[in-house]
Amino acid sequence: MGQTGVVTDLTWILIVVAALVLVGLVVGAVSLTSGRRRRGPSATLPPVDVSPYEVDQPPAEGATATATATAPPVEEATPPAPTLERPEPVAGRMQRLRARLAGSGRVGQTLLSILSRGDLTESDWEEIEETLLLADVGIGPTTELMDTLRTRTKVLGTTDPETVRGVLREELLKLVDPAMDRTLHVGPVVGDDGEPHPATVLVVGVNGTGKTTTVGKLARVLVAEDHDVVLGAADTFRAAAADQLSTWGARVGVEVVRSDREGADPAAVAFDAVKHGREIGADVVMVDTAGRLQNKAGLMDELGKIKRVMSRQAPVREVLLVLDATTGQNGMRQAQVFAEVVDVTGIVLTKLDGTAKGGIVVAVQRELGVPVKFVGLGEGPDDLAPFEPEEFVDALLA
């Protein structure tokens, strides 16, 4: 009985231990299953979208509040409008010429030096004549001027320097001819079709006279006078010319019509420029052309074609010939040929402030019968002025 009792006790102990182990296993299994149900598969958690350009949405499970906050849309910065330059008023520009001419050709200083000697001798008269010739006044005008000076001083019975100077001024002013029409004819005109058209201006000249720069400066003159201007870049042989003209136009808010193709037909560009000017109601369309030598027949014929094509859109009111004042009498033949091809209506003398002698004004007007309308006074953007005969003569004799 004793042994039987011990066995029985051990059996029960083993049964209890086994039962406890079994219960522990069951409880562990249940806990593991419950935990998996609460967590779910981590690989399938949706990503949190934090794009600031999406509309507001409820936060995803497990995401923080800042992850779904919507930032305001980022607006692109609008570039500031370019500041347009305000061209200098045209009135009074010519007054700058006195000091600049006095420092270049020194015509006035030489003449005053001769006149200050007292009663003039034959040698003095010859020196005055030589001074005028060196100033590019030309042989014909100089001979006429000297004859008049001698006659008038003889009639007055004096060779007093101040009297001679006064007579010289009067006679030079007559040669420059204040009666010439120096108006730049711009502003809308009525064509043969009865419709309003912009005034068209064709600008011509040889290479190196500063033609494109002159067109840019003329645009500033017109803008200063409150004209609506369109520029045509018909110098298609030099890409730099169109770029240069575009820069001039952009500075004062003037549109420039140009071709995207180098070597394009310049007449077509001129046509498009005038057409565009008509469409937007511009006052003036000014067309720049390529520089050409006067002895190149093909290029000169092309110039005539440009003018004819422009005329199909609007009457050509002005043909301005740009001359380099420093070339003196050498520029006269150039002027003659251009005048024959395109009926020049006005002259623009550039570089008059440099080594120019000034007398070229008299010579070119006498030769062509065409007025000098503008003169270049320097390299600044507003160093172009309408020609004023009295101011010019006073500057020449200063």
DSSP 119: S
- Which of 334 and 58 is assigned the larger pLDDT? 334
Beta carbons of 204 and 319 less than 8 angstroms apart: yes
- CA 41/CA 26 separation, integer angstroms: 23
* Average pLDDT value for residue range 176-196: 83
- Per-residue pLDDT tens digits for 12-23: 666 766 666 666
Annotated binding site for GTP: 205-212, 288-292, 350-353
Q: Measured in Å, how far apart are the chain's first and last C-alpha atoms? A: 158
Return the pLDDT at 292: 78
Beta carbons of 235 and 205 less than 8 angstroms apart: no
Supply 136's token pair. 């590019």
Identify the weakest region by mean pLDDT among 127-131, 132-136, 220-224, 250-254. Answer: 132-136
Residue 305 backbone phi and psi in degrees, to 5 = -65, -40
Beta carbons of 347 and 364 less than 8 angstroms apart: yes
Q: Is the per-residue pLDDT at 233 higher than 90? A: yes
* Average pLDDT value for residue range 47-73: 39
SS3 309: helix
Supply 46's token pair. 């949706």
- Which of 86 and 289 is assigned the larger pLDDT? 289
- CA 260/CA 215 separation, integer angstroms: 20
Q: Is the per-residue pLDDT at 167 higher than 50? A: yes
Q: What percent of the chain has pLDDT over 90?
A: 31
Q: Is the per-residue pLDDT at 82 higher than 70? A: no
Supply 277's token pair. 């000017």
Confidence band, pLDDT 50/70/90 cuts, at residue 197: confident
Return the pLDDT at 86: 85
* Average pLDDT value for residue range 327-344: 80
Q: What is the DSSP string of 156-203?
A: HT---HHHHHHHHHHHHHHHH-TTS------S-EE-TTS-EE-EEEEE
Return the pLDDT at 103: 55
Q: Is the per-residue pLDDT at 48 higher than 80? A: no
* Average pLDDT value for residue range 231-257: 93
The size of the chain, in residues, is: 398
Mean pLDDT of the chain: 78
Return the pLDDT at 84: 85
Q: Is the per-residue pLDDT at 42 higher than 50? A: no
Q: What is the DSSP string of 44-82?
A: GPPPPP--TTSPP-PPPTT--GGGGPPPPPPPPPPPPPP
Confidence band, pLDDT 50/70/90 cuts, at residue 71: very low
The count of other CB atoms within 10 Å of the CB of residue 210 is 19
Annotated binding site: 205-212, 288-292, 350-353
Hunting for tokens 């003209």 — which residue is that? Answer: 245
| 93 class by beta-carbon count within 10 Å (0-12 exposed, 13-18 middle, 19+ buried) | buried
- Which of 327 and 180 is assigned the larger pLDDT? 180
The segment with the largest mean pLDDT, out of 60-64, 350-354, 376-380, is: 376-380
Return the pLDDT at 193: 72
Identify the weakest region by mean pLDDT among 71-80, 211-220, 334-343. Answer: 71-80
Return the pLDDT at 54: 32
Thinking of the domain 189-344, which architecture would CATH place it in? 3-Layer(aba) Sandwich (3.40)
Beta carbons of 253 and 84 less than 8 angstroms apart: yes
- Measured over all CA atoms, what is the biggest interatomic distance in the chain, rounded to whole angstroms? 183
- Which of 356 and 185 is assigned the larger pLDDT? 185
- Which of 238 and 358 is assigned the larger pLDDT? 238
Q: Is the per-residue pLDDT at 187 higher than 90? A: no
